[in-house]
A = this chain, B = another copy of it.
Amino acid sequence: MIVGAAQMGPVERRHTADEVSERMVALLEKASARGVELLVFPELASVPFFPHWVIEDREELLSYYDLDTPFARVAPLFTRAAELGIAVVMGYAERTNEGRLFNSSVLADEHGDVALKYRKVHLPGFGEPQRAEHQLLEKRYFEVGDLGFPVVDWKRTRLGLAICNDRRWAETYRMLALARAEIVCIGYNTPVKTPHLPEIDTLTEFHNHLSMQAGAYQNSLWVIGVGKGGVEEGVEQIGGSVIVAPSGEIVALASSRDDEVITADIDLDMVKKYRRDVFNFAHHRRPEHYGAITAPVDPRWSDDVRRVGALPGSDDDGA
């Protein structure tokens, strides 16, 4: 099965939806020419990553959200994908009929039908603005996802979705692997610089790959990880989109921070071989010893963190 990741360069406020659609269709056509059956686009693919700044105006804020699915905003993409028979995963800001706001991802299958929807569980950053070069306001603009980690049988395999910060939490991959996912599609927007912790700025690409490689290996699954790179609204983001095998090896890697398609012909039997021989969950896992993982975090944990001092310029003391 040939799969692809459609990395994107910056999407800025000055770009119209038509311009963005055109770029996405161009990536889709490239993927089609390479025989791709499943193409994954980044988190919040068709809009700027607006949690990077404060938006006071409610109307402006809501302009970044799509009602239920992203199909209307970038209609040409989904129309063309269905014509070509390519399944598409795409991240978007979701507004529900009830006005709830989520950081979501949807799988439109090869017929253009919604086959799977996921709402981001791990929202990084803060609910309130910080004194920092750029903001991380996901906790302000989104609710925590309420769908858990759903999966779907699709063609000859089983898919799960995750979004950005989810990929740094081992629970994400484990939940999906326990639900028997064989491919996990992850979109992201990752600034090169981490506010408050400049000493890790040189490690951003390493951490991106480390998390996805470990997630793939330790759960015997394929990971398709795709970012929106380059300088977007003044914030520089990494590229580094990858396709990772159940061996943890990167088998395809983007070489730019711009619009770029990477593909791989993936062997789904690798999943089963690794699950049989190395990570046989039924034989080796010991859920009876994992109790704290599903329990509330020990309050002493926050006391430890507080000992290193408050975040610079933050009302937040790490509690």
Contacts and interface: CB of A to CB of B under 8 A. Distances in A.
Given A165-B284, A247-B200, A297-B282, A292 B178 contact: yes
A273 interface: yes
A319 B283 CA distance: 8
A: contact size bracket: 35 or more
Contact of A124 (B284, B291, B295): B284
A273 B311 CA distance: 9
B285 A194 contact: no
Given A179-B292, A203-B249, A276-B311, 18 more contacts: A168-B279, A170-B170, A170-B174, A170-B218, A174-B290, A174-B293, A178-B297, A180-B300, A194-B277, A200-B247, A207-B217, A207-B247, A207-B248, A276-B306, A280-B318, A281-B301, A282-B319, A285-B297
In order of increasing CB-CB distance, the 4 nearest A-B pairs are A214-B214, A170-B170, A272-B308, A276-B318
A100 interface: no
A285 B175 CA distance: 14
How many protomers of this protein does the assembly include?
A: 2
Contact of A180 (B197, B282, B304): B304
Contacts of A145: 289
Interface of A: 121-124, 144-145, 148-149, 165, 168-171, 173-175, 178-180, 194, 196-197, 200, 203, 206-207, 210-211, 213-215, 217-218, 247-249, 269, 272-302, 304-308, 311, 318-319
A11 to B, nearest CB: 26
B269 A308 contact: yes
Contacts of A298: 178-180
Given A169-B218, A217-B211, A287-B295, A197 B273 contact: yes
Given A171-B293, A210-B213, A287-B295, A197 B278 contact: yes
B282 A248 contact: no
Contacts of A218: 168-170, 211, 214
